[in-house]
Amino acid sequence: MQKRKLGRGLEVSALSLGAMGYGKARELPDRAEMIALLRTAVDRGMDFFDTAEVYGPLTNEVMVGEALAPVRGKVKIATKFGWDIDRDTGVHHGGVNSKPDHIRKAVEGSLKRLKVDTIDLLYQHRVDPEVPMEDVAGTVRDLIVEGKVRWFGLSEAGAASIRRAHAVQPVAALQSEYSLWTREPEAEILPVLEELGIGLVPFSPLGKGFLTGKIDAGTQLDPSDMRNSIPRFATDAREANQRLVDLIRHIGAKHGATPAQVSLAWLLAQKPWIVPLFGTRKLERFDENVGALKVTLTQQDLDEIQAANIKVQGARYPDEHLRRVGL
């Protein structure tokens, strides 16, 4: 699989697999299949995997650790701290917490659950407005010196926080939402990342499934589906946003590519330091997404997408979630 570099030397596969939906909140009946999928991904050449202590909470890291233990020397595992979680009960109290002692406890827990001596990439999951960024970055810097962490990352941080963190401990990667239907990072975040030499790991590169073309205004989502709370998935918004999917499908027809592959290929074409992070629980979807690496969009394709200037309708998060973004 193609490789890309994040920050000052973290080399990873050009696509990353996120395990958020595996073993989350309960023991999934297909747990064995999820472990098999992670191992198959390694066989296919992927070496960059993403989890977090909050996924479960805690249970996701356990499963990722079990799955990747036999191939530890072949992979890089990213995990995250920053939520207020009781590590004895697994109860998530809802708020953020990046106090230095909390970070250290989070790292010790992640090391044990992942069955590793060192965390390859450690992200602050969300900025904590009550803790100076210099204290957060300084704590991670100390953990790097101690050999417990290799690289430092941020998630959904704003430009000022990125600069403050990077001044204390170089940031290898920012993980934030970026895709054909979430292009806000282009205004301020991407220029800052380019200036400082920081990579971008965009999550939800397929618009939480919408950009695959398999969801339209008439699709009935399960009542428990988190997308029901997202304004962008309201029926009228989905109807309006269908224009974007139609354009992606049109571009794909020229390349024999699916809408998902075009969406990932578009991200890969933006910058050489972008490594899209997708999630799937099906091997056929994994293979489809990795197939994006064989799709090379032409400059004409990219210009056509840009010229269409499609304005996506609906916010990407409910208001309470947006308040934690870009701090």
Q: Is the pLDDT of residue 24 over 60?
A: no
Whole-angstrom distance, CA of residue 203 vs CA of residue 176: 6
Tell me whether residue 315 is exposed, middle or buried, using C-beta atoms within 10 angstroms of its C-beta: 0 to 12, 13 to 18, 19 or more. Answer: middle
pLDDT score at 83: 94
H/E element, 17: strand 16-18
Residue 288, pLDDT above cutoff 70: yes
Query: How many C-beta neighbours within 10 Å does residue 306 have?
Result: 9
- Is the confidence at residue 295, as pLDDT, over 90? yes
Give dist(CA 168, CA 220) in Å, integer: 48
Q: How many CA atoms lie within 13 A of 234 on its CB side?
A: 12
Reading the block at residue 295, the tokens are 């799709």
Q: How far apart are CA 129 and CA 126, in angstroms?
A: 9
Domains recognised in the chain with CATH numbers: 3-206+269-295 (3.20.20.100)
Q: What φ, ψ does residue 242 adopt, rounded to 5°?
A: -60, -25
pLDDT at 289 over 70: yes
How many Å apart are CA 10 and CA 198, to the nearest integer?
A: 10
Q: Give the pLDDT score at 25.
A: 46
More confident site: 224 or 267: 267
* Six token digits for residue 244: 């974007």
Mark whether 178 is an active-site residue: no
CB of 215 within 8 A of CB of 222?
no
Q: Exactly one of 55, 123, 178, 317 is catalytic; which is it?
A: 55
Task: Tell me 182's DSSP state.
Answer: B
Residue 242 has pLDDT above 90, yes or no: yes
The span from the CA of 277 to the CA of 261, in Å, is 13
The count of other CB atoms within 10 Å of the CB of residue 47 is 20
- What are the pLDDT digits (tens) for 184-212? 999 999 999 999 999 999 999 999 999 99
Residue 86 pLDDT > 80 = yes
Please tell me whether residue 312 adopts helix, strand or coil conformation.
coil
- Residue 257 tokens read as 């590519």
Residue 293 has pLDDT above 80, yes or no: yes
- Its sign, for the CA torsion 252, 255, 258, 260, is negative
Q: Are strands 48-50 and 10-13 parallel, antiparallel or unpaired?
A: unpaired
